[in-house]
């Protein structure tokens, strides 16, 4: 049996960064994603976000790729939001997402960052945050 612990910090937004995720909808969505992930054997350490995006710290098991985990989380949650009719118009996630591995020593810092999203986004927009991630992790800009 393989023993694998690879922690991933993923960030993804709503299509066109539309602020669908009110506090109430966001909490329902987070609760649902956590339950769904558990059923798919995806370990979610913490998840939080703001009106137009979510951050998730999750673990990969030996059989799970990042793209598969993101497909299971994003695809299923968009389907669920629309089925529950939580938004006035059709809900969609943006296609792109950001994902980076997190070392054991950085887990507390990343957890604090994810849990502090509401306060963080009083000062910084998702667009600014996204650009900072792109630079910090040396991703090539696609936009």
Stretch 40-50: mean pLDDT, rounded? 96
**Does residue 1 carry a pLDDT above 80?**
no
**Residue 138 in 3-state DSSP?**
coil
**Stated pTM of the model:** 0.91
Mean pLDDT (whole number) for 105-114: 96
Q: Which pairs count as long-range contacts for 44-50, CB under 8 Å and 24+ apart, including other chains? A: 45/7, 45/107, 45/111, 46/111, 46/114, 46/115, 47/114, 48/114, 48/115, 48/117, 48/118, 49/21, 49/117, 50/21, 50/26, 50/117, 50/118, 50/120, 50/121, 50/126
Q: Which fold has domain 6-14+22-116?
A: Alpha-Beta Plaits (3.30.70)
| Residue 20 β-bridge partners | none
Query: Is the confidence at residue 131, as pLDDT, over 70?
Result: yes
* Domain definitions of the chain by residue range: 6-14+22-116
pLDDT confidence band for 70 (50 / 70 / 90): very high
Average pLDDT, the chain: 93
- β-pair partners for 43: 59
């Amino acid at each position: 049996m393989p023993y694998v612990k690879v922690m991933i910090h993923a960030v993804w937004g709503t299509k066109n960064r539309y602020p669908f995720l009110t506090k109430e909808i966001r909490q329902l969505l987070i609760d649902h994603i956590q339950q769904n992930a558990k059923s798919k054997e995806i370990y979610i350490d913490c998840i939080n976000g703001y009106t137009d995006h979510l951050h998730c710290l999750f673990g990969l098991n030996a059989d799970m790729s990042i793209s598969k985990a993101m497909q299971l989380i994003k695809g299923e949650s968009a389907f669920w939001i629309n089925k529950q009719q939580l938004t006035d118009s059709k809900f969609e996630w943006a296609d792109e997402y950001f994902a980076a591995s997190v070392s054991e020593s950085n887990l507390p810092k990343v957890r604090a960052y994810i849990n502090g999203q509401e306060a963080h986004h009083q000062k910084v927009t998702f667009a600014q945050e996204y650009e900072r991630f792109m630079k910090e992790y040396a991703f090539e800009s696609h936009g």
